A and B are shown apart, each in its own frame.
Chain A
Amino acid sequence: MTGTIVTAEAVGKQVDIHGGSLTILQDVSFTVAAGESLAIVGVSGSGKSTLIGLLAGLDLPSSGRITLAGEELNALDEDGRARLRGQKVGFVFQTFQLLPGLTALENVMLPLELAGHADAAARAGQLMQRVGLEQRLDHYPKQLSGGEQQRVAIARAFATHPAVLFADEPTGNLDARTGGRIIDLLFELNAEQGTTLILVTHDDKLAGRCGRRLHLDAGRVVADEQSQ
């Protein structure tokens, strides 16, 4: 996969608070090439999570334009962006965000079913095997450890062969050792599927594994550096 997968042009985000307006992001512009891995770093409150939400089409910017997988997000309505997410995007979250009512396997099946895949169960089973949880298919999230839950979440994120995978502090709730394994897994699958990886992290080790780091401070991009 070549070319540009994500483009942000002069993106700004303001929210109304108590009658006033608070600027969270200001004049953020960059592009991400397909297959690239990008870490968005910065202190708490620098706007990292807001930016990843905008890039993934979970929210719309107050100003500027974002293009994801060739589609201009501003031009899509809420359901259109949902469709785009279903087709092109995968997510991994700090708090795992598995559906508590579904088993591990069913959680992985969910995006496949939403996209209308007929062989959801088989494909989900393969992914569960790939993340080393083939013994845990029928367990509910609360019966799994934090690391196991995050592996299920990774399997779910890769289930639909997304063009872009967004990860929000994927190791934030895990101890260092478990976090390390999760990072390994994330990059292995990323390499196997040629997915573009965009993640937000505080973890220097994780950021260091990415090909490129975007530094945010008070809502502005202050540095954009490539790894050596």
Chain B
Amino acid sequence: MHTPHRFRLAWRLLLRDWRAGELRILFAALVIAVGATSAIGFFTDRLQQAMAGQSAELLGADLILQSPRPVAAAWIAQAESLGLRRDEVLTFPSMVMHGPGMQLAGIKAVGAHYPLRGALRISDTPYGEERNAEGSPPPGEAWVEARLLPLLDMAVGDSLSLGDRELKVTRLIAFEPGNGGNLAALAPRVLISRADVEAAGILGPGSRVTLHYLFAGEADALVRYKAWLTPQLEPSHRLIDVREGRPTVGAALERAERYLGLASLAAVLLAGVAIAMGARRYSERHFDVSAMLRCLGASQGDILALYLPQLLLLGLLGSGLGVVLGAAAQGGLFLLLQELLPARLPPPGPLPALLGLLTGLVVLAGFALPPILRLRQVPALRVLRRELTPLPLRAWLVYGAALGAMTLLMGRYTGSATLTLSVLGGAAAALLLLAVLAWLLLRASRGLRHGAGVAWRYGLNNLWRRPWSGAGQILAFGLTLMAMALIALLRNDLLSTWQSQLPERAPNHFVVNVLPDEVARFEEFLRRQNIESAQLYPLVRGRLSAVNGVPVEQVLAPGDDGGGAVNRELNLTWSDTLQEDNAIVAGRWWTAQDAGQPLISLEAKLAERLGAGLGDTLRFTFGGSELEAQVASLRTVKWDSFRPNFFVIFPPGVLDAQPATWMTSLYAAPSQRAAMAQMARDFPAVTVIDLERLMAQVRRIMEQVTLAVEYVLIFVLLAGFAVLYAALQASLDERLYEGALLRTLGASRYQLRAGHLAEYALLGALAGVFAAAGSELIAWQLYTRVFQLEYAFKWPLWLLLPPIGALLIGAAGYWGTRRVVQRSPLVVLRTL
């Protein structure tokens, strides 16, 4: 056949099939699949951007480069050439004075553009009403933390002196981007204009000044700049982006991404099943046409040339529509959730749309192509002998390729090989389990036949007679239920993990700089004021300088700063008890006999980076003195617990010679603000760091993630319904024919309906068992290997899923087969 003829004929057949409704299932499944995945893609894309933006607000920039010295001009020029906005901030400690009072303060000198992201929050009176600041302090003014006022016995409107410069205190800082929960900033903050720094004449050679280069701009410009800059960094430089900047926010983001990735996997997998079923039905309904075409002289190539363009066109149209639907769906969601989401959201990028199209084509190729390829092998003799069907395909080859493509796609979606492999592993295990289940079903229904009434016998016979169709449907329904269960499970568990991570009365203040002779009085104060606090920990500042005698810079991989633990002073502590959320992973925690021994307990990840294990020796430098200590245990630490946490812990009695201050975290209810003010007056040296704002931000991020998760659940359900519909359609022809025959033979509508109900309820119950087993298996993998959560046997799955399956699939099957009794038997027998 000539090519133009082929395409014309292909197009005509496609149109006719479309009008006759032959393609609706396939097309609908594809649209739902691509709609779901690309909605998730768009949503995740924007949410990630939004979440990154919010974290940037905490940071005050998208990217910060810290350096003890000015950096090369070329670095700045490169940032500017990439179109990044920037500002420079200097921080240094300095004494500030008011009248007779003197206080060490953390000076922060900012440029006119500070902050690049987010806003300074200020108030006019201590702990008074807050508002966003417009800009930053003008020259001649100082904005200070409220806790500085009692220390210097001054009020807003007074002046303080910094070096040679008199600065008028005009505002109080309530929240300062770039300082959220940063323990390095112990001294009260004084925010001034950079122009005042030179005038004050306080910075000379050797000053302990840190330069912060703040950058903000388009995501890919930032990525490029980061990639350009990273190889040139020196050990003293530190590059902080949204992820690394704040461990709490970073962990939440990472979990959110993984979770949404997993949900999109479930949707892709389900869609594949629906499409495979639709394509199979389509293919089977075209056996006759193919046989006739072969009979009329069409070659195998002609048959392919007829159906492949149809498939491609269908794929492009369906995927395109799916992408449009996905875009609309995510837009609708953002509209609905306006209240909870940042006011300005970045528009979705083009990548999710491309990925959506690609997903559609890959899924179609993987799942619809094999049955369509079968059409080519329909024997021409079928025109005389209708029972002839083409040879089954070499399923391993074709589905193996599909599986490979899906793996790639999933990998692209999740960005995690572990996640992809564990889901695929679960699917493979589920398939094995399915084979056993199908076999058991055969046995069970054979036994049940004798005891059951005629309607049930008819229904169960349907399963027994079509074991492969039954097995296919158990797989489909089981997968749907499994996805639902898995998502519900993870969602609840993930949320409860998050909730327990942020309990109602989580610490909301850090208190540092409690002087040694004030510790007892401070504890007494907390008791009297009824303020809950963690244990008080001594804080000793020291540097990690060598591992087994090798300088630490040589131990670390190039560019690794040991998670910030190495190139700056470490907060060291001692304790005789292990923090409750820390866990020993190697070695042992000390006993009373170890007091005074040069031992340490080292945080496990830092140990890994340092290549240090049990028995290795670490050297610490304290001002002039040095100390070597042996690693006695490795610990895991929950950095996002808002409790005091340490990389290195000594036993009591080792660090006694070093100067120490004490710290803790505490929870102060809103009604205890007065007590906090009293604390500032009673303990002038103590620094209180308010975490509430930081935590509020984190809570908001988690709320958004929760909503996103629920939204994604809806799409997975939709994909599941597509599977259900496709499965019902797949067996409808046969059912129509049989139903008509049975009714001709005298079966009542009631008997037929009861039979259908029995069949689908049993199918649903079995799918429920299948789903429970599959979810258990996958959840176990995910919990232990991906999310590192505790796993316990999920018995409610086994109780709930079978009845839910029976109810859901029974009802859907009952509804979906209603045509079997609605159509006149005569019409059915004549058309089939």
Contact = CB atoms under 8 A, between A and B. Distances in A.
Interface of A: 49, 52-53, 56, 58-59, 78-79, 81-87, 89, 91, 93, 97, 99-102, 106, 110-111, 113-116, 142, 156, 168
Contacts of A101: 13, 16-17, 20, 22, 289
Chain B: interface size category: 20 to 34
Interface string B298-327: 111110000000000000000000000000
Contacts of B298: 82, 86, 114
A29 to B, nearest CB: 22
Given A82-B299, A113-B1, A114-B297, A49 B384 contact: yes
Most buried by B among A78, A110, A113: A113
Nearest to B9: A113
8 contacts: A53-B381, A81-B380, A85-B295, A85-B296, A91-B296, A91-B383, A111-B297, A115-B297
B300 A58 contact: no
Contacts of A82: 294, 297-300, 380
A91 B294 CA distance: 12
A218 to B, nearest CB: 19
Interface in B353-381: 379-381
Given A101-B16, A113-B9, A116-B2, A83 B299 contact: yes
Most buried by B among A93, A110, A114: A114
Given A59-B379, A83-B297, A114-B302, 15 more contacts: A58-B381, A59-B380, A59-B381, A79-B301, A81-B380, A82-B298, A85-B297, A101-B13, A102-B13, A110-B293, A113-B9, A115-B297, A116-B1, A116-B5, A168-B384
A66 to B, nearest CB: 14
A111 B9 CA distance: 11
Interface in B1-39: 1-2, 5, 8-9, 12-13, 16-17, 20, 22
Q: Which 8 A-B pairs have the closest CB atoms?
A: A86-B297, A101-B16, A79-B299, A58-B381, A111-B296, A58-B380, A59-B381, A85-B297
B16 A114 contact: no
A142 to B, nearest CB: 7
B759 interface: no
B302 A93 contact: no
Contacts of A86: 296-298
B385 interface: yes
A52 B383 CA distance: 12
A182 B296 CA distance: 21
Nearest to A93: B383
B384 A53 contact: yes
A91 B381 CA distance: 12
Contacts of B81: none
A142 B12 contact: no
A44 to B, nearest CB: 14
B90 to A, nearest CB: 77
B292 interface: yes
Contact of A49 (B5, B380, B385): B385
A49 B385 CA distance: 9
Nearest to B295: A91
B232 interface: no
B783 to A, nearest CB: 51
Contacts of B289: 99, 101
Contacts of A113: 1, 5, 8-9
A217 to B, nearest CB: 20
Interface string B178-194: 00000000000000000
Nearest to A60: B381
B822 interface: no
Nearest to B292: A97
Contacts of A84: 297
A97 B383 contact: yes
Contacts of A97: 288, 292, 383
A180 B380 CA distance: 29
B671 interface: no
Most buried by A among B16, B296, B381, B831: B296
A85 B297 CA distance: 5
A59 B214 CA distance: 79
Most buried by A among B293, B294, B297, B380: B297
Nearest to A100: B20
A49 B289 CA distance: 20
Most buried by B among A52, A58, A79, A93: A58
A113 to B, nearest CB: 5
B619 to A, nearest CB: 81
A59 B381 CA distance: 6
A78 B300 contact: yes
A85 B302 CA distance: 14
Contact of A58 (B22, B383, B831): B383
B830 to A, nearest CB: 9
Given A86-B298, A101-B289, A142-B831, A52 B12 contact: no
A110 B381 contact: no
A115 to B, nearest CB: 6
Contacts of A114: 1, 5, 293, 296-298, 302
Contacts of B16: 101-102
Contacts of B299: 79, 82-83
Nearest to B302: A114
B831 to A, nearest CB: 7
Contacts of A110: 9, 293, 296
Contacts of A81: 380
A99 B292 contact: yes
A221 B293 CA distance: 31
A111 B16 CA distance: 18
A81 B301 CA distance: 14
Contacts of B9: 110, 113
A67 B278 CA distance: 42
Contacts of A156: 296
Most buried by B among A78, A82, A91: A82
B12 A106 contact: yes
Interface string B275-299: 0000000000000110011111111
Contacts of B295: 56, 58, 85, 91
Contacts of A83: 297, 299
A140 to B, nearest CB: 8
Contact of A102 (B1, B12, B288, B294): B12
Nearest to A56: B295
A58 B296 CA distance: 10
Contacts of B296: 85-86, 91, 110-111, 114, 156
Contacts of B300: 78-79, 82
Nearest to A79: B299
A177 B224 CA distance: 84
A52 B20 CA distance: 33
A91 B1 CA distance: 19
A58 B16 CA distance: 27
A111 B1 CA distance: 10
Contacts of A87: 297
Nearest to A99: B289
A119 to B, nearest CB: 12
Nearest to B22: A101
B745 to A, nearest CB: 23
A59 B301 CA distance: 19
Contacts of B13: 101-102
Nearest to B2: A116
A58 B384 contact: yes
B377 to A, nearest CB: 9
Contacts of A91: 295-296, 383
Contacts of B293: 110, 114
Contacts of B1: 113-116
Contacts of B22: 101
B384 A52 contact: yes
Contacts of A115: 1, 297
A93 B302 CA distance: 23
A28 to B, nearest CB: 17
A23 to B, nearest CB: 17
